[in-house]
């Protein structure tokens, strides 16, 4: 059985943080047995860019295409 993790929304401040994010996701998947939704059509995983470069980032330039660009954070709790 595989469980899925929903509603991922990391905050990225530099382009190189995408690789840090992906490495962390892979590590989490390996140790937990859960999987992240890596299909962009599920719209479960988004990224919120912060910093001076955020205006330059668009969906076509995201290094991890399963992360959809969002202009806001969504918190549950």
Q: What is the pLDDT along the chain (77 residues), one digit of tens a residue?
A: 455 666 678 888 888 899 998 999 899 889 988 888 888 888 888 888 888 878 888 888 899 988 888 887 766 54
Q: Structure pTM?
A: 0.75
In the chain, domain spans: 3-69
Whether the CB-CB separation of 64 and 18 falls below 8 Å is answered with yes
């Amino acid at each position: 059985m595989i469980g899925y993790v929903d509603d991922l929304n990391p905050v990225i401040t530099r382009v190189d943080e995408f690789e840090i994010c992906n490495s962390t996701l892979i590590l989490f998947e390996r140790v937990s047995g859960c999987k992240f939704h890596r299909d962009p059509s599920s719209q479960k995983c988004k990224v919120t860019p912060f910093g001076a470069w955020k205006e330059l980032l668009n969906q076509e330039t995201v290094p991890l295409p399963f992360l959809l660009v969002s202009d806001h954070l969504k918190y549950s709790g």
